[in-house]
Chains A and B, each alone.
Chain A
């Protein structure tokens, strides 16, 4: 398939996914409302934690509002659990077979389905940042100089999450209720990625363990890139780690897909 044909096909998947998502307009209202409530609640909680101190566990008090907003943006901007639920349902009810009948590259299809509905979320996130930056408390939120490292880290986060979620979909060939893995990933990202609370606040033993998992790369990495708290050379090091994880998961997912399809066929497809 030529690049042009590839872009035409998966660009159309992206457009269809976006058009489908736009049919559920109220979910955007809920997203805006829940984001606003979460920001207010988290700010109140952090204020209690800081209790007049200028810094807790390496996070300066003036960075807290930015931390809270960026945490929400990173988590909601890279979570794909709805898509995973739908894909696993398709495996269970047999409608997944259309991907086997047509000349479709499923990871690309899944990728385009993931990106489409995220475009409005990312746009809302950008608007939120621009609006909040007008308030004094949020003056440290994503300064122009931090934008490129943040977007680079965020892109790697999205690729990593895409491969993680794709792995869950493929596990659906063996595990009927593989959706629980998606929930587990969401909890993991929420608690252990460093986007809800700074990693330095967690027990040191746990932090050491988490460094051997992809969780800090999908939360702490983009967060610190946006806050400008990465040490010299750390961005490059974390980017290499992210790419290594993505490459490893691509290989694992290739094997899971090939073996999973054989299993799927054995039960009737």
Chain B
């Protein structure tokens, strides 16, 4: 079994979007003769992530963090270059690959909001074909770890954001993925809920050696959770090293994002 969880070489992703000036005249002109601009969301990324590490992905808005995560999870096809997760090409979306990954997007829910989370968990167990006994045991174990046992039977829309986010992370872990992509999982959470979620992520990684890639704007997420830090600015790699290599994390990160961009 390879010790490399994720590998990317010269990874590039471009988006083509139509643009136009404001106003009715411009709208009409754009209708008949649209103009397009190409933006490089991710440009020539090269790195490897060993199995079992927690990597923090940092960058300003639009830096390319989410685009990278989407390519790693198989939601986007790279424009050029290579990306592999456990030897799979993510964009092929093979069921064997899908069983190895979990993903949480802070602003998108995978829980059915009108019914209790336990019903979504049942569905996930069935979709990932986890044997029923094992699935029940995992729900119990994770619910105790995440301290959400009492919330399992409550309609999701009646829960607080923090409780809901714990259940989202739990949902992504139920099939025991080998790699977990977390895109801004602490967004909108209060200080206490953030701290708890960080502790849970750290704890889970210690127990299971699950590779975790976490993108966040919150430096405390990175400092407290991650073994390694990757800074992306305008789609390019600006820093790749351990968190301890940077003495004053916050100042350095801002410098790297702004000055070298």
Closest to A15 in B: B119
Contact with B along A226-269 (1 / 0, CB 8 A): 00000000000000000000000000000000000010011111
Number of A-B contacts (CB under 8 A): 76
Contact with A along B63-103 (1 / 0, CB 8 A): 00001001001111100000000000000010100110101
A213 to chain B minimum Cβ distance, whole angstroms, is: 31
What is the size category of the interface that chain A forms with chain B? 20 to 34
Which of these binds chain A: B48-56, B120-128, B221-229, B245-253?
A: B120-128
Q: Are B123 and A5 in contact (CB under 8 A)?
A: no
Closest to B75 in A: A269
Q: Are A266 and B15 in contact (CB under 8 A)?
A: yes
Answer whether A8 and B15 are a contact pair too, CB < 8 Å, given A101-B101, A102-B98, A265-B76.
Answer: no
Q: Are A267 and B15 in contact (CB under 8 A)?
A: yes
A12 on the interface (CB 8 Å rule)?
yes
Closest to A261 in B: B93
- Bound together, the chains give a CA A19 to CA B93 distance in angstroms of 30
Complex interface: chain A residues within 8 A of B70 (CB): 97, 268-269
Give residues of chain B (94-143) contacting chain A, Cβ–Cβ below 8 Å.
95, 98-99, 101, 103, 105, 108-110, 112, 114-115, 119-120, 122-124, 126-129
- Bound together, the chains give a CA A5 to CA B127 distance in angstroms of 8
Complex interface: chain B residues within 8 A of A19 (CB): 114-115, 119
Answer whether A100 and B74 are a contact pair too, CB < 8 Å, given A16-B123, A20-B112.
Answer: yes
- Bound together, the chains give a CA A19 to CA B156 distance in angstroms of 13
Q: How many residues of B contact A (CB 8 A)?
A: 33
Q: Are B119 and A100 in contact (CB under 8 A)?
A: no
B149 to chain A minimum Cβ distance, whole angstroms, is: 20
Complex interface: chain B residues within 8 A of A20 (CB): 112, 114-115
B: residues with CB less than 8 A from A are: 15-17, 67, 70, 73-77, 93, 95, 98-99, 101, 103, 105, 108-110, 112, 114-115, 119-120, 122-124, 126-129, 155
